[in-house]
Amino acid sequence: MKTISENACFGGSQGVYTHASTTCNCDMTFGLFLPAEARDGPVPVLWYLSGLTCTHENAMTKAGAQGWAAEQGIALVFPDTSPRGDDVADDEAYDLGKGAGFYVNATEDPWKPHFRMWDYVAEELPALIGEQFAVDLDRQAITGHSMGGHGALTLAMSLPGRYRSVSAFAPIANPSASDWGKKQLGAYLGDDQAAWARHDATLLMAEKGFDGPVLIDQGASDQFLDLLKPEALAAAIAEKRQQATFRMQPGYDHSYFFVSTFMEDHVTFHAEALWSA
């Protein structure tokens, strides 16, 4: 692991690091904010998964999360959204390939040698930060935006006991029924609809739900509402009687202006779960 940068931030440190990933078979970069409390011992961890076209840097610089995390004494991890490098397959479109890993393990060519973002976020990166930094992996929570909201919800529901809470900003909520999903899941996972279902938050909510609190914010003026399909997830939450808060926010779109507006609510929501006995 190499340190790219470390900057003082709200009494703690915002770092950027790179490492050789055996999961993705390339070098991967991530951001990690550690509050001041990490100098005295391990602190809880909140994962932030970003959306299409993003790197680790977008949320790290635009979401305004570090100040709220510093108040709560929790760490923030900002993984990249896909593998990178000259040997990594890509596509001309913005919504497939680099910057669009969709948090799945690809089984189809040309994607399968590198696009294993599920295992990277669920296994390799937690093990690395647990070994290298003062974080408490018994106290984890997860959030994300758009494609990252999809990833946060599907990881949380598929890994029971891993995360104490889950939230999402404008998640891709029903990808197996959306053009933001059919294309990517078909490319990465092939034609097997059962494989798609394992990465669909609406279907997972109907089948499994989440053993803990859920918070979802969706901008009512989001320009991608037809692709996100929040109504499908809201219906599944209601039918499952899931412990959840689902908020439609009037006037807000899909941008980081929306994310940063409600970031304090999300960090506070997760801190309550992370610091509970």
Domains of the chain, CATH where assigned: 2-270 (3.40.50.1820)
Residue 229: what pLDDT? Answer: 98
Q: Name, in order, each residue with C-beta under 8 angstroms of 237's C-beta and a sequence gap of 6 or more.
A: 205, 214, 244, 246
- Of 21, 50, 146, 165, the catalytic one is 146
Contact 32, 17 (CB under 8 A): yes
> End-to-end alpha-carbon separation of the chain, Å?
33
User: Token pair for residue 136?
Assistant: 């408490």
266 annotated active-site: no
| β-pairing verdict for 135-144 and 75-79 | unpaired
Strand segments, DSSP code E, in the chain are: 2-9, 12-21, 26-34, 43-49, 75-79, 135-144, 166-169, 214-219, 244-249
Token couple for 150: 């999809």
Q: Is 47 helix (H, G, I), strand (E, B) or coil?
A: strand
Q: Which long-range contacts link 90-96 to residues 24+ away (Cβ below 8 Å)?
A: 94/52, 94/53, 95/52, 95/180, 95/183, 95/184, 96/183, 96/184, 96/187
CA gyration radius, the chain: 17
Residue 170 β-bridge partners: none
Q: Would strands 166-169 and 214-219 be described as parallel, antiparallel, or unpaired?
A: parallel
From 239, 242, 258, select the one nearest 250 (Cα to Cα): 258
pTM for the whole structure: 0.98
pLDDT at 218: 98
Quick one: pLDDT at residue 117? 98
Of the residues 80, 95, 200, 222, which is catalytic? Answer: 222
What is the reported pLDDT for 178?
96
User: Is 146 annotated as catalytic?
Assistant: yes
Give the Cβ contact number of residue 276 at 10 Å.
Answer: 9
Q: How many CB atoms lie within 10 A of CB 99?
A: 20
Q: What is the pLDDT of residue 77?
A: 98
From the candidates 56, 254, 266, 270, give the one annotated as an active-site residue: 254
Task: Give 218-256 as a DSSP string.
Answer: EETT-TTHHHH-HHHHHHHHHHHT-SEEEEEETT--SSH
| pLDDT tens per residue across all 277 residues of the chain | 999 999 999 999 999 999 999 999 999 999 999 999 999 999 999 999 999 999 999 999 999 999 999 999 999 999 999 999 999 999 999 999 999 999 999 999 999 999 999 999 999 999 999 999 999 999 999 999 999 999 999 999 999 999 999 999 999 999 999 999 999 999 999 999 999 999 999 999 999 999 999 999 999 999 999 999 999 999 999 999 999 999 999 999 999 999 999 999 999 999 999 999 7
